[in-house]
Structure 1
Amino acid sequence: MESYDVVVVGVGSMGGATCRTLAGRGMRVLGLETFTPGHDQGSAHGGTRIIRQSYFEDPAYVPLLRRAYAGFRELEEESGRSLVRTCGGIYIGDPSSPTFAGSRAAAVEHGLAHEVLTAVEVRERFPTMDPADDAMAVYEAEAGYVRPEETVVAQAEVAARSGADLRFGERVRSWSVTPGGGVEVVTDQGRYGADRLVVTPGAWAPQLLGSLRLPLRVERMVFHWFTPDTGAVPLVAWDQDRHPVYVEQTHGNEQIYGFPMTDGPSGGFKLGFFRVGTPTDPDAVDRVVREEENDAVLARARQLSPHLGRPVVQAKTCLYTITPDEHFVVGRHPEHEQVSIGCGFSGHGFKFVPVMGEILADLAQHGTTPHPIGLFDPTRAALRPAPG
């Protein structure tokens, strides 16, 4: 049986970052992944993911975001790939909405450069948008997007170049701790031993971490690319040189997010619901996007951007693995100190990829990390099974 310092189960976004960090530190690393690098079967695909620091989810994320931003730039240098574009970001809502108020609170608490705009100012600066008259917005110039598939591939390339043994197309069936204090991992092709294990299984967390009884909900999500109507607004207004990424929720409507045109007019204008999904099995996802799903998101998106039109350029599904409080699950396994876990990223984890790789590598190598991860404790009250 082959043996390593660390086995990483799942070489997608978080697992790939962990392999890259551990290999860069000189550890003997094995990464095991069911699919190919940069695949579209999980969560890390779709061409773009928003990066932002004025974080309405909780100001406690901001220090991690600062480190993640630096980590993406370092990965660009190491891989020679272009991954990040800062086109600005705007977070719009009525004054009491979490999208606006939470973003502003995070920006103020951490001294982030930002502007507060009225609805009139939003319309003047971004003519594709027509928010409600009483809406307010936080504009953050340092926000933008990252390329998820390119990031995952870049991490794998750098990790392999640093000596990591990455095996794609090899599905993990089980893992166990050994009497000597190590671990054994069983795949559909073999068995492997290691001193430490990192489990970053994405939507397959309920299967591979079932003993923890984590209350994870795997959901099928859809994102869509629509055609801008250029009759009222010039096409250039939708371009990434002039249009920001955005998140909007006003007076309790469904929260939406979107991007500028990142790949020219033929690529369309990507957007989607932020938290509207349907429960699914990751091995039996319905990948067909129906016309009524396109209709629903377009009707909602037009509340902010009335000049969005058809045809639908494309639509794709992805997977969210959601915790009850929508915070991540990152830490040492509560029953096995030689095992670390990273899962439940709840649809907003990709912007943290580089720093999560550092955190999980720290936990595997040292059992602790200097990064603040108390919010993600696997034993926190929100994750405890209900009595009975």
Structure 2
Amino acid sequence: MRNESYDVVVVGLGGVGSAAARSLAVSGQRVLGLERFGPAHNLGASHGESRGVWQAYFMGPGYVPLLRRARTLWSELEEESGERLFHQTGGMCLGPAEGELIPAARASAEQCGLPHEYWTADQVHAHYPQFTPADDCVAVYDPESGYVQPEQTVRVQQSLAGKHGAELHFDEQVLEIAETSGGVRVRTDRTTYHAERVVVSAGCWAPGLLPGMALPISVLRKVMLWFQPEGEMADFLPGRFPYWIWEGDGMIGYGHPAANGTHGGVKAGVHSGGTPADPDSVERFVDQQEVQEIQSFLRDRIPGLGRGRYRQSAVCLYDNTPDQAFLIGPASDESRILLAAGTSGHAFKFLPAIGEALAELVTDGRAQQDLSLFAPGRFTP
């Protein structure tokens, strides 16, 4: 007989939700996880072969303590699952010395005492001949950065959540979340559940699930592309090619090593910009103009990719907040609804630490990590 009363219901089991479900189950909570789609689906923001993991973070020093904790927890996830999750490749932030990325990445490294190197354009090319930056370009090299694979990560976290007793339901759509005098009621297209707390980690679908809260989240459509490089594929494999993010031409581009080896392509995309979208009707087709935009960005910077052959693409969705920082914590001081949303296209690297913090908020009322940067109330007048 199915139990319909729980300590915590986690709504959305992508990257953030699966991390929360696992950590809550480990802490001894009776957990129900609800996912509208199937396990490790490709309709939100937790897919696309690879996600970058930094330490000298270009979003600023305030993120580094949570990143350090996440690095420890990535290792613990690997030990428990028996699978390698984090691939250390090194990574570069590139751009003008007085731009947006370089000062922030350098401040993170220097203020937090992180290993890093500051390179001129010639030094970039000397270390990685695949890159041909202009003379006025500089780079912050982070030797401890790398990538994880989102589909694998979600699958592992879901599996471990179930191992620790969480009950996970897929292909079950949440229709309503409402606080009651004794907790929270969650109505789905199958039945109604009751819980002491609810964690809403539904990404771009979070605003629609909590319409009364007017969450400050905008949904943007983003494109990920994979190329077959001109020349030797070996030059773009992990160990020979870093994770990179590059400010130039009024945009911020990024790319990863070939995470699937010689059987896959080399990933690149544009982190900045994006097209407003409805997550239920977003255009999944990628047109030639979108491919050419990224090829044009790459052509003078990483010629082997810019002149390479376009292989495939995928669309993902950013759920952006106005300041690009996440929403993590109770929706209000007295609310039993916890938000884990507004991931703004850069939360995946933090996943195990976010999951741990959510479990601490539920069980202890506070998190060990400082989450003030992500407090939902910062947007409340």
| Aligned position for 1:156 | 158
For residues 46-195 of structure 1, the aligned pairs below 5 Å read 46-180=48-182, 182-195=183-196
Partner in structure 2 of residue 311 of structure 1: 309
TM-aligned CA deviation for residue 226 of structure 1: 1.1
Taking the aligned partners of 2:131 and 2:291, their CA distance within structure 1 comes to 20
For 1:263, the equivalent position in structure 2 comes to 260
Tell whether the 8 Å contact from 2:121 to 2:136 is kept in structure 1 after alignment: yes
Given the two structures, how large is their TM-score scaled by the length of structure 1? 0.95
Within 1, Cα distance between the matches of 2:370 and 2:211? 26
Conservation of the 8 A alpha-carbon contact between 1:339 and 1:364: no
Residue 74 of structure 1: how far off its partner (Å) = 1.0
Residues 330 and 342, structure 1, Cα contact 8 Å, conserved in 2: yes
How does 1:375-386 map onto structure 2 within 5 Å?
375-380=373-378, 383-384=379-380
Write the distance in 2 (CA, Å) between the matches of 1:384 and 1:27: 30
Deviations along 1:134-182, one digit per CA (max 9) or x if unpaired, are 11111111100001011111011001011101111111101111122x1
2: CA distance between counterparts of 1:370 and 1:266?
42
The structural deviation recorded for 1:219 is 0.8
The equivalent of 1:240 in structure 2 is 238
Aligned to 1:324: 322
- 1:41 maps to which of 36, 43, 57: 43
Is residue 2:285 matched to residue 1:283? no
Q: 1:176-214, CA deviations, whole angstroms, 9 ceiling, x for partnerless residues?
A: 11122x111000000111111111111101101221212
Aligned ranges 1:290-309 → 2 under 5 Å:
290-308=287-305, 309=307
Matched to 2:72, the amino acid is A
Q: What amino acid is aligned across from residue 276 of structure 2 in structure 1?
A: P
Q: Could you tell me which residue of structure 2 aligns to residue 253 of structure 1?
A: 250
Separation (CA, whole Å) in 1 of partners of 2:109 and 2:66: 14
Q: Does the CA contact (< 8 Å) of 2:229 and 2:309 recur in 1?
A: no
Q: Which residue of 1 aligns with 2:203?
A: 202
Tell me the distance in 1 between the aligned counterparts of 2:79 and 2:170.
25
Aligned pairs, how many?
A: 378
Aligned to 1:211: 212
Q: How far apart, CA to CA, are the structure 1 residues paired with 2:198 and 2:300? A: 47
Residue identity opposite 2:227 in structure 1: F
1:336 Cα shift? 4.1
Contact 2:20/2:354 (<8 A) preserved: yes
> After TM superposition, where is structure 1 displaced by more than 3 Å over at least 4 residues in a row?
none
Alignment correspondent of 2:361 = 363
Offset at 1:253? 2.7
- What amino acid is aligned across from residue 352 of structure 1 in structure 2? F
Deviations 1:50-82 (A, max 9, x none): 000111112100000001111111111112222
Q: CA RMSD in A?
A: 1.3
Identity of aligned residues (%): 43
Q: Output the CA distance in 1 between the equivalents of 2:314 and 2:12.
A: 22
What is the CA–CA distance in structure 2 between the aligned matches of 1:315 and 1:137, rounded to whole Å?
28
Q: Which moved more, 1:265-274 or 1:45-54?
A: 265-274
- Tell me whether 1:24 sits opposite 2:22 in the alignment: no
Aligned with 2:317: secondary structure?
strand
Q: Are 2:308 and 1:337 aligned? A: no
* Structure 1 unaligned spans of 5+: none
- Matched to 1:295, the amino acid is Q
Question: Which moved further from structure 2: 302-311 or 38-47?
Answer: 302-311
Query: Structure 1's 367 and 202: CA in aligned 2 closer, same or farther, altered over 3 A?
Result: same
Secondary structure class of the residue paired with 2:124: helix
State the one-letter code of the partner of 1:349: A
Distance in 2 between residues matched to 1:375 and 1:291, nearest whole Å: 39
Q: Distance in 1 between matches of 2:88 and 2:313?
A: 24
Give 1:304 deviation, angstroms.
1.3
Tell me how far apart the structure 2 counterparts of residues 269 and 228 of structure 1 sit (CA, whole Å): 7
Cα shift at 1:22: 1.1
Q: Report the 3-state secondary structure (helix = DSSP H, G, I; strand = E; otherwise coil) of the residue aligned with 2:71.
A: helix
**Contact 1:341–1:360 (8 Å) recurs in 2:** no
Report the equivalent of 2:6: 4
Q: Match of 1:127, as an amino acid?
A: P
- State the shift of 1:384 in Å: 4.0
One-letter code of the match for 2:215?
Answer: L
Q: Which amino acid aligns with 1:139?
A: Y
Does the 8 Å CA contact 2:177/2:210 hold for their aligned counterparts?
no
CA contact (8 A) 1:79 1:154 kept: yes
1:335, distance to aligned residue in structure 2 (A): 6.0
Paired residues of 1:197 and 1:364 also in contact (CA < 8 A): no
TM-score of the two chains, using structure 2 as the length reference = 0.96
Q: Any conservation in 1 of the 2:326–2:341 contact (CA below 8 Å)? A: yes
Amino acid aligned to 1:220 = R
Q: How far apart, CA to CA, are the structure 1 residues paired with 2:229 and 2:293?
A: 17
CA distance in 1 between counterparts of 2:327 and 2:353 reads 14
| Conservation of the 8 A alpha-carbon contact between 1:14 and 1:356 | yes
